Amino acid sequence: MRKQVLEEIAQAMVADGQGILAADESTGTIKKRFDSINVTSTEDSRRDYREMLFRTTQAMQENISGVILYDETIRQKAADGTPLTEIMTAAGALPGIKVDAGAKDLAGHAGEMVTEGLDGLRERLSEYHALGARFAKWRAVLNITDTAPSAACLSANTHALARYAALCQEAEIVPIVEPEVIMDGSHSVERCYEVTSTALTVLYEQLAIQNVHLEGTILKPNMIVSGTQNPVQANVQQVAEMTLDCFHKCVPQAVPGIVFLSGGQSDELATAHLDAMNKIGNLPWKLSFSYGRALQAAPLKAWGGKAENVPAAQAAFAHRAKMNRLAALGQWDASLEG
Known catalytic residues are: 178, 220
Distance CA 69, CA 120 (A): 19
The dihedral sign for the CA sequence 261, 135, 21, 39: negative
Name the residue among 30, 15, 26, 171 with its Cα closest to residue 93.
Answer: 15
Is residue 6 a contact partner of residue 269, using CB atoms and an 8 Å limit? Answer: no
Alpha-carbon distances of 18 from 13, 316, 326, rounded to whole Å = 7, 18, 9
Using alpha carbons, list the distances in angstroms from residue 142 to 50, 128, 205, 222, 271: 29, 27, 17, 10, 23
Nearest alpha carbon to residue 328 among 293, 296, 285, 292: 285
> Between helices 151-170 and 189-209, what is the axis angle to 10°?
50
Q: Which residues have CB under 8 Å from 222's CB, separation 6+?
A: 180, 181, 182, 183, 192, 196, 260, 261, 263
Residues with Cβ within 8 Å of 319's Cβ and at least 6 positions away in sequence, in order, are: 298, 338
66, 85 Cβ separation under 8 angstroms: no
Using CA atoms, how far apart are residues 273 and 269, in angstroms rounded to an integer? 6
Gyration radius of the chain over CA positions: 19
Q: How many CA atoms lie within 13 Å of 290's alpha carbon, on the beta-carbon side?
A: 33
The rounded Cα 48 to chain-centroid distance in angstroms is 22
Compute the distance between CA of residue 71 and CA of residue 192 in angstroms, rounded to an integer.
32
